[in-house]
Amino acid sequence: MSDIILKGDKNGYSVIVDVLANYDQAFKELKTLIMQQNVKSSSETDDVIKFTVKTGNRLLNKHQKDELINFFDKFPQLELQDIESNVEDKATVNEILDKNRTNVESGIVRSGQKLDYKGDLIFLGTLHQGAQICATGSVYILGEVNGIVQAGYPDNTNAAIFGNLKNIDQLRIADVIEIVTDDNQTDFQNGKFAFVDDLHSISVDDLTNYKNRLIDLKKRTG
């Protein structure tokens, strides 16, 4: 039984590799198949034949991917469009999990301390002046804050800071910093949210308007 299945469509060919096959044997079979196709399109005037290699639930390592790419590079009339798999590597999975994680913190963060979180943060505790909480996602403040709150670290400008912004010393979203002073303190109250606006500065609005903010983000990101 063949370890390789070749299927053609209007976009070219899909090469399906049996997930249970020995990779080295499957790769040899794939090379034979590809060379046969190259013989059929040896003329420079022929259209380039495009291939997508599908490995199903098999995840190729970097060496195996490079081996495939290098092999196709030997044949100008053949093009490797993509290597598709139904599974993700561990690093990608961890990145997705971190991005979608929601953390809950209910403790006291004292002056000089800095707590870092991957994903969103619901803060129920007390943040002393001179202390800092930092999240890669958005921050939802239900406790008391007197220190520095960082959302969207290091470059997520779509993140926001919600909730009780009263008494906060400093807000940071991505690389944008807003220092709260006597002149602007009235803007930072409970029931507000802070975000990065179109001028790449931090703006504050009522939580009731956050839905409109989401609509604007969707339009900008397509």
Q: Domain with 173 in it: what CATH number?
A: 2.160.20.70
215 and 106: one domain?
A: yes
Say how far apart CA 3 and CA 150 lie, in whole Å: 52
Element (H, E) at 120: strand 120-123
Report the DSSP beta bridge partners of residue 172. 150, 177
141 and 117: one domain?
A: yes
pLDDT, tens digit, 9 for 90 and up, residues 13-60: 888 888 888 888 888 888 887 777 666 655 554 578 888 988 888 888
Say how far apart CA 16 and CA 210 lie, in whole Å: 46
What's the mean pLDDT in 89-93? 65
Contact 82, 52 (CB under 8 A): yes
198 and 131: one domain?
A: yes
- Residue 97 banded pLDDT, cuts 50, 70, 90: low
- In terms of phi and psi (left: phi > 0; alpha: psi -120 to 50; beta: otherwise), the region of 88 is beta
What's the mean pLDDT in 172-194? 89
Say how far apart CA 13 and CA 137 lie, in whole Å: 41
113 and 83: one domain?
A: no
What's the mean pLDDT in 176-196? 88
Q: Is the pLDDT of residue 8 over 60?
A: yes
Looking at the 3D structure of the chain, how many domains does it have?
A: 2
- Residue 93 banded pLDDT, cuts 50, 70, 90: low
- Note whether residue 93 is domain-resident: no
The lowest-confidence range among 67-71, 87-91, 148-152 is 87-91
Burial 153-188 (b: 16+ CB within 10 A, else e): beebbbbbbbbbbbbbbebbbbebebebeeeeeeeb
Q: Tell me, what's the pLDDT at 23? A: 81
What's the mean pLDDT in 159-184? 92
Say how far apart CA 79 and CA 81 lie, in whole Å: 6
What's the mean pLDDT in 118-138? 96
pTM, 2 dp: 0.61
**Dihedral (CA of 93, 94, 97, 98) sign:** negative
- Note whether residue 191 is domain-resident: yes
Q: Which of these three, 87, 115, 140, is where a domain ends?
A: 87
Q: Tell me, what's the pLDDT at 39? A: 60
- Note whether residue 92 is domain-resident: no
Element (H, E) at 90: helix 90-99
18 and 77: one domain?
A: yes
Distant-in-sequence contacts of 99-103, Cβ < 8 A, 24+ apart: 99/136, 99/137, 101/137, 103/135
